[in-house]
Chains A and B, each alone.
Chain A
Amino acid sequence: MERYSRNHNALTPEEQTLLAGSRVAVIGLGGLGGGVVEMLARIGVGSLFLIDGDRFDTTNLNRQILSTEALVGHPKAEAAKARVMAVNSDVRVTSCIGFLDNGNADAIVGDADLVIDCLDSIDTRFLLEDACKRAGVPLVSGAIAGTLGQIITIFPEDPGLELVYGERSAKRAAGVENEMGNLSYCALFVAALQASEAVKVLLNRGELLRNRLLIADLMALSFDIVELT
């Protein structure tokens, strides 16, 4: 298909077909999720499930690529769906205006080949990871604070987020993003790495960040891949 001609030969025609048959759930549609959705729609992932219960507000405009002044007050999930349909009408896209919780997580995750964690709460990230492990679905998790970003890819049998955040029951300080804010280029940088990990998982190709955490400090210009196990 002509629309994917510039994907080739970085991707083979067979890989393009594989992506077209893939189902990805993006959980959270803010700074990370907006970027991830844009990139997955453009590269040709065939089916996207998008969920976020928030509506855009003016504080989102500094970084969230799906937000515009005209969309302040508008549900993020609706904006994400509209963006996907405008970019690539071949993508089957389903959106949900709601938050991930114990009541809906298993159903959402169970229908996906891969889940992408773009949430903004550490507790909900653990809830999502639990659902992915129960469903046997891989998870690509990204997080940001200020000019700092982190990415990890978690397969169901991997220890996962406890290696990064400590035991889920342990006393833990709130995420440092509450103090540091979030910048546009950092959000899209981490979103790009999440999209890259997602494509590699779907295609079963390339090096993955399994049991390793990539830590990027864009102000210090340091990039570490930490062995977690």
Chain B
Amino acid sequence: MIEIELRLFATLTRYTPPTPESFRVARATTVEGLLSELGIPREETKLIFINGKKHELDYELSKGDRVGIFPPVGGG
């Protein structure tokens, strides 16, 4: 297992696990696997950024990654 840091934004905070700052996932978990584990439907996020950079669903997480999960925001 590895520890990552999770930040969920806006309505996605409802999916925040108990200890988001030290969330444990299996080694080689992908972003897609992480979303499944958290129970976040794919249509609720189109922007996942890791250590300040956008990544796709096939990105494999590494120890210490800072993961941001961001929803579609369209208000004006």
Contact = CB atoms under 8 A, between A and B. Distances in A.
B58 interface: no
A150 B9 CA distance: 12
Interface string B29-58: 000000000000111101101001110000
B17 interface: no
A18 interface: no
Question: B interface, by DSSP: helix, strand, loop or mixed?
Answer: mixed
Nearest to B50: A226
Interface stretch (A41-49, A87-95, A105-113, A165-173): A165-173
A175 B47 contact: no
A170 B11 contact: no
A175 B44 CA distance: 9
B10 interface: yes
A20 B11 CA distance: 42
Contacts of A150: 73
B72 A180 contact: no
A96 B10 CA distance: 34
Interface in A61-77: none
B75 A163 contact: no
Contact of B54 (A143, A146, A228): A228
Contacts of B52: 224-227
Nearest to A180: B10
A125 B73 CA distance: 11
Contacts of B73: 143-145, 148-150, 175-177
Nearest to A175: B74
A172 B46 contact: yes
Contacts of B9: 148, 215, 217
Given A166-B46, A171-B43, A182 B54 contact: no
A179 B53 contact: no
Interface stretch (A5-13, A115-123, A132-140): A115-123
Interface in A153-190: 163-166, 170-177, 179-180, 182
5 contacts: A118-B76, A166-B46, A166-B72, A175-B72, A176-B10
Interface of B: 7, 9-11, 41-44, 46-47, 49, 52-54, 68, 70-76
